Chains A and B, each alone.
Chain A
Amino acid sequence: MDPHSGEPRPEPTADSGIPTKPTTATTTAATTKAAGSNQDEAGAAAHTTEAASSTEAARGRIGPTFPSWRLRGVLALACVILIASVTIWAGPHVFFVVVLLAQAVYVVIRPDSHATTALLASSAAVIVFADVELSAWLMPAVLGFHVAHLVAALAAVAPWDTDLEHAALRPALRRFVAVQGASQALVLLALLVSP
């Protein structure tokens, strides 16, 4: 008996010696998640997929995965979106564009370094020194800014030869959608109120 939870401790099975997970705990967790899923449809879909992944976890398996290089591809795409939007919006000298691209390459290779900070700071500096007006290009720039920051952080804990479980990225994706919604709304508001 587990003194903390009051549930039976996992006992080794006779044939394999592997401790089995208590079925009741799994069922309770799935039921709790299912009960919370009645709030709205989006939440329901998210909770359904979470329940599916928790079922996989209860079976002792890993859910669907994808290779780590795809995450690096998303990171590269985010960097391209950021640099392209900043370049089109601010129109910097080619030298600065090349510098930004070189930084982006290093970010993709070493996302665990401070190169991402340097790339984002350089992009902001290009906008500052360009002295441009507020434009709709700010929206993809904000998107690229956020995606590059987030994906670089995640890629830093996923080496090249790693497979990522879809469920592992789901909480970060939920937060990303909420933050991007709020940020883009603010950008839209700024565009509307600006002269």
Chain B
Amino acid sequence: MIMYARRQSWRPTPAYARAVALPVVLACAALILGRVELLLLGTPLVLGTLLARGRFTALAKEFGAEPAHETPPSVKVSGPARLDAGRTAKLATAITPSDAETVTVLLPPDIQNGDGQRVVVLAPSTDGGDRQIVTEMEITTWGTHELSRPHHLVAGPDALWVTGPVEARPFTAQVLPAVSTRLPSGPLPPRPAGMVGAHRTRRPGEGTELHEISPFVPGDRLRRVDWRVTSRQSGPYEQLFTRRTLVDADADVVCCLDNRFDLAPEVATWSSVAEVAPVDDEDQIGRTSIDIAVDTVSSVAATYLAHGDRVGMLDLSTPSRMVRPASGGRQLMRIRSHLALHTRRPGSGDVARVAQRIPAFPPGAIIVVTSVFLDETVVELAAGWRRAGHPVLAVDVMPDPLHVDRKNQPMSLALRVVMAERQERLAALTSNGVTVTKAEPSRLALSLARLARAPRRSRH
């Protein structure tokens, strides 16, 4: 086990003790016994130490460095404060100038939560600037993470003095969930609101999409007169023609995240007492339902926001932290930051409940709810929203495929029961008019496209 130092101060190494004591002992023995070879054996150690200290002669200064008694260098990692999951990020390990000669430093790993490379590098001298070592890290997991901790050991000339090992300050960054896929334009609410979106409606009014060209009637605006058509149509009967357009509309979309359960593809971990996705076993466990839900919310939000719609987000366990619907690129960043900061990974022992009082959504808002549908609560909520007139898209974020040990008969049986109950709930949702889809990007895109083209009940 490595004992890390809290204070940065120089201390001599066994090599320094050897370089000082051994020549003295050998010289004494040589004088007493009259053996010149002992004196010669100790000569390189004396000369080497003198050159390493480098302050006695011009020759020593030429070959050596200044004695290491100044402040040791500090080593820190810097990089972007916000990163995107699924991309690579450049991190810089900076070493400040000092009179040290080498720095043994633990560089950031190539992949998040991996093992970094430990290197011995030349320390920058006091007459230069910082030395930066830029490395790339593949960012895999969203959330707030400690990406690197540059523990280091600083050595003076010939490693006669050292500082450390020093436990450096960690570099922590916020990893935003990825917008994993570009989805098609989703369904429109029965009564689209606003006049800024990119959705076409069947309601005449101010917009860009041509509806009809009709004769001018009192009340029409003059700027709506289509002079080209008027010049062609008019003759003996002089008459003005106006262009009538359809309203451009936007939608309110609320993404509801049910993160009471975090289920991994490995069914055996569902009943474990520890966290579902401990850091050490994350690679083996794979993407859990929370990962899939967060990516889905991020992708759906990006899709609707790209069409000028207003998107909000709600964690069903903590509705007080709702992100109110808004539009624009900053809203996407706000939602992704909220997901990275506040979405927690519950353990199997947690008994989080859906909040009793869910805030009211804007009338006609599209509701996208992500869940594993292991209980009736979310089903009742989604059915209630549908009855209230909201288009509801239920996204099943259960990992697929699930892995279960076939030799474990009780677990296989229990899984079959759980999945059968789940199918019943999904069927109940469908019967209530809720569109149910898997979170797989292609199937989600297909469901959104079908919903967008489906005939709407209300006329607008």
CA distance A63 to B102 in the complex (A): 13
CA distance A141 to B41 in the complex (A): 8
CB–CB B134/A186 < 8 A? no
Distance from A92 Cβ to chain B, minimum over Cβ atoms (Å) = 15
When each residue 100-144 of chain A gets 1 if its CB lies under 8 Å from chain B and 0 otherwise, what string results?
A: 000000000000111011001100100110000010001001100
Judge whether A21 is part of the interface by a CB distance below 8 angstroms. Answer: yes
Judge whether B119 is part of the interface by a CB distance below 8 angstroms. Answer: yes
Contact residues in B for A81 (Cβ distance below 8 Å): none
**A121-B25, A178-B51, A187-B40 known; A161 vs B132 contact (CB < 8 Å):** no
Distance from B243 Cβ to chain A, minimum over Cβ atoms (Å) = 44
Judge whether B91 is part of the interface by a CB distance below 8 angstroms. Answer: yes
Partner of B117, one of A29, A138, A150, A163: A163
CA distance A146 to B26 in the complex (A): 14
CB–CB A145/B44 < 8 A? yes
Contact residues in A for B131 (Cβ distance below 8 Å): 57
Distance from B368 Cβ to chain A, minimum over Cβ atoms (Å) = 32
Partner of A175, one of B25, B92, B127, B157: B157
Interface size of A as a range: 35 or more
Chain A's interface: helix, strand, loop or mixed, by majority?
helix
Judge whether B378 is part of the interface by a CB distance below 8 angstroms. Answer: no
Interface core residue of A19, A124, A128 (most chain B CB under 10 Å):
A124
**A18-B92, A57-B131, A61-B134 known; A165 vs B48 contact (CB < 8 Å):** no
Partner of B41, one of A21, A112, A116, A142: A142
When each residue 60-83 of chain A gets 1 if its CB lies under 8 Å from chain B and 0 otherwise, what string results?
A: 111101001000000000000000
**A21-B129, A25-B129 known; A157 vs B14 contact (CB < 8 Å):** no
CB–CB B159/A175 < 8 A? no
CB–CB B15/A149 < 8 A? yes
Distance from A55 Cβ to chain B, minimum over Cβ atoms (Å) = 12
CB–CB A138/B47 < 8 A? no
Partner of B78, one of A17, A150, A175, A178: A17
Partner of A156, one of B13, B26, B101, B119: B13
Closest to B54 in A: A175
Partner of A26, one of B17, B119, B129, B133: B129
Closest to A82 in B: B41
CB–CB A116/B37 < 8 A? no
Closest to B160 in A: A153
**A57-B122, A171-B101, A175-B157 known; A183 vs B47 contact (CB < 8 Å):** yes
CB–CB B45/A146 < 8 A? yes
CA distance A157 to B159 in the complex (A): 7
Contact residues in A for B372 (Cβ distance below 8 Å): none
CB–CB B102/A163 < 8 A? no
CB contacts under 8 Å to A, within B79-95, are: 79-81, 89-92, 94
Distance from A132 Cβ to chain B, minimum over Cβ atoms (Å) = 8
**A18-B78, A142-B44, A145-B44 known; A116 vs B128 contact (CB < 8 Å):** no
Interface size of B as a range: 35 or more
When each residue 153-192 of chain A gets 1 if its CB lies under 8 Å from chain B and 0 otherwise, what string results?
A: 1101111011111011011101110111011001100100
Contact residues in A for B124 (Cβ distance below 8 Å): 57
Distance from B169 Cβ to chain A, minimum over Cβ atoms (Å) = 16
CB–CB A157/B90 < 8 A? no
CB–CB B132/A121 < 8 A? no
CB contacts under 8 Å to A, within B155-187, are: 155, 157-160, 162
Contact residues in A for B94 (Cβ distance below 8 Å): 19
Closest to B104 in A: A157
CA distance A17 to B160 in the complex (A): 37
Judge whether B120 is part of the interface by a CB distance below 8 angstroms. Answer: yes
Contact residues in A for B130 (Cβ distance below 8 Å): 10, 19, 21
CB–CB B48/A128 < 8 A? no
Judge whether B444 is part of the interface by a CB distance below 8 angstroms. Answer: no
CB contacts under 8 Å to A, within B91-124, are: 91-92, 94, 101-102, 104, 117-122, 124
CB–CB B122/A168 < 8 A? yes
CB–CB A114/B14 < 8 A? yes
Closest to B60 in A: A175
CB–CB A167/B134 < 8 A? no
Contact residues in A for B47 (Cβ distance below 8 Å): 178-179, 182-183
Closest to B43 in A: A183
CA distance A87 to B204 in the complex (A): 105
Judge whether B4 is part of the interface by a CB distance below 8 angstroms. Answer: no
Closest to A113 in B: B14
Question: Chain B: residues with CB nearer than 8 A to chain A?
Answer: 13-15, 17-19, 21-22, 25-26, 29, 33, 35-38, 40-41, 43-45, 47-48, 51-52, 63-65, 78-81, 89-92, 94, 101-102, 104, 117-122, 124, 127-134, 153, 155, 157-160, 162
Q: Lowest 8 A-B CB distances belong to which pairs?
A: A153-B15, A60-B134, A17-B80, A146-B44, A18-B92, A153-B159, A117-B18, A179-B47
A-B contact pairs, 23 of them (CB 8 A): A16-B80, A17-B79, A18-B79, A18-B90, A18-B134, A19-B78, A29-B127, A63-B122, A128-B33, A128-B35, A138-B37, A142-B40, A145-B45, A149-B18, A156-B159, A157-B104, A164-B119, A165-B119, A167-B122, A171-B122, A171-B157, A179-B47, A182-B43
With A114-B17, A127-B38 given, can you name 5 additional A-B contacts, CB distance below 8 Å? A21-B129, A112-B14, A146-B44, A156-B13, A159-B118
